[in-house]
Structure 1
């Protein structure tokens, strides 16, 4: 871990030395940093701010980019020219979301706890390979009108063995990773992810030590399940150091061909296991850095190129723990 910290320090020094501009994203209302804001360059490119609101950009790497699109949940998007980027960028709060941010429902009556189990699988070939440019969402229906509150979300994770020959052994030494994810909750709008259920900035760090299931406690956010269901999404932010600090992550591998350089999105660990055991299509994807891009249901015929669909692996099987409250 000491070597990783040393590498991070050297990398930052190299970044500064090579002319990167370090910029911070700040809320104009509170003067606090906006953690993990999205900085889109267009054409599927972009970066994330870190937990302190900082990001790096240089014209040397992106000579054709003339504008940055800065966005975050609960804030108005802002467009910044890449000529003379200011050291501080201020985002204005989206005023029509203020009531939703402040008002919460506190439930004090008796309840019972139910669990929707996640679908686990350690088969490498049945997995989604996360990339920074993609967000993946899963729909949870609501089958009755009883009051329900989300307690935890259960994210299935595939662990990879260091030794490929021992991959089928449960006690095999697992490949290490330390990855930061962002989680969002959406209302159901015409069978697609709609407005956020919460504007809270929810992130978690997963490592191989968490096993094949990561339980994210969200009870503090008072997430009441809407009558028509909801969506929970997962988005990889990148690898972290030993303390959970987001590292500068290269989002593309550049491969030189006869016709020029091709950029291929970098895949991040852990892998996300997909399943064919869910009857309907509950998984949706989108490319987060393309401005205005819409959600697409993950199924054949929707123009998605994926080997998972060819074998009818249509869903990322996220689980959930929730409370069902008794009638007053």
Structure 2
């Protein structure tokens, strides 16, 4: 974390020197901040607002960006010009979105707890490198008509050794990180992620101290598994400080080539292990604001360039615990 904080301090000094625009995303209906809103540059790159709705933007860091596209679950997308960027941006709620009945309930009858174990792997070469513009969704089928409520989602994580030569040793010192993730739940829409099951802002911070999996308790959201299954997704928001506050990191690197400057998305830790032990294709990905922000099944032939697919690593093996309620 010391190295991470050093980079953050350097970035803040840079911002203080060149000047910046600190903008707050606000709900026009409630005047509350819109936490973790997506700020896209329109080419698949972007940044996120923090928990208080603030984001940092400066033309010095992003000289070729003239428009921002602001979006968040339950709100209408809004385009704003970067020239003379205002201090506040107000988002309008989508019609009927916040009044929509969420598939949830409080159940008081007897139940048993069941667990679907995650697929854990410490092989770096079998891992997805999380980037800001990518969201990964995993499908969970519903095998019967019993009432089920989700207790927790278990995200497998691969840690990296500080010393590459000692990477196969279980007791080797691990590279430190502190990364904020956003989690969403989607209905099953004919075999792909559909409308959200909940509009709650669900985030968690993962560090190397969590080991090879992160168990996220979602019981407070009272999410009942739909008859035709559901999707859970994971999206990295960026690195945080020691207190879990989202840092204003630049989310892509610029590499100059003979034909111009190429933007390469920044890879964030931890790595996410993929598996070939699931028979069907349950994993979907999307690139924010690319391909109309549409989902694509993680499968050969779908136009996805990935070394994982070349070795038949088709799925991110997320686990889950859930309550199965007895019939009344």
What's the secondary structure of 2:161's corresponding residue? Answer: coil
- Alignment check: 8 A CA contact 1:42 1:291 kept: no
CA distance in 2, matches of 1:283, 1:4: 31
What's the secondary structure of 1:234's corresponding residue? Answer: strand
Residue 275 (structure 2) aligns with? 275
Residue 218 (structure 1) aligns with? 218
Q: Which residues of structure 2 form unaligned runs of 5+? A: none
- Count the aligned residue pairs: 328
Q: How far apart are 1:68 and its partner, in Å?
A: 1.6
CA distance in 2, matches of 1:289, 1:122: 32
Pair 307,10 (structure 1): closer, same or farther in 2 beyond 3 Å: closer
- Alignment check: 8 A CA contact 2:102 2:197 kept: no
Pair 286,168 (structure 1): closer, same or farther in 2 beyond 3 Å: same
Pair 61,286 (structure 1): closer, same or farther in 2 beyond 3 Å: same
Residue 146 (structure 1) aligns with? 146
CA distance in 2, matches of 1:304, 1:291: 12
What's the secondary structure of 1:165's corresponding residue? Answer: helix
Q: How far apart are 1:190 and its partner, in Å?
A: 1.5
CA distance in 2, matches of 1:16, 1:304: 40
CA distance in 2, matches of 1:26, 1:113: 40
Tell me the alpha carbon deviations over residues 133-167 of structure 1, each in whole angstroms, 9 at most, x when there is no partner: 10010000011111100000000000111111211
1:30 and 2:44 matched:
no
Residue 70 (structure 1) aligns with? 70
Tell me the alpha carbon deviations over residues 12-62 of structure 1, each in whole angstroms, 9 at most, x when there is no partner: 242143132110001122211111000111011211001110112223343
TM-score of the aligned structures, taking structure 1 as reference length? 0.95
RMSD: 1.7
TM-score of the aligned structures, taking structure 2 as reference length? 0.95
User: Aligned ranges for residues 131-210 of structure 1 at < 5 Å?
Assistant: 131-210=131-210
Pair 231,243 (structure 1): closer, same or farther in 2 beyond 3 Å: same
Q: Which moved more, 1:254-263 or 1:72-81?
A: 254-263
User: Aligned ranges for residues 1-328 of structure 1 at < 5 Å?
Assistant: 5=5, 8-100=8-100, 104-290=104-290, 292-328=292-328
- Alignment check: 8 A CA contact 1:153 1:321 kept: yes
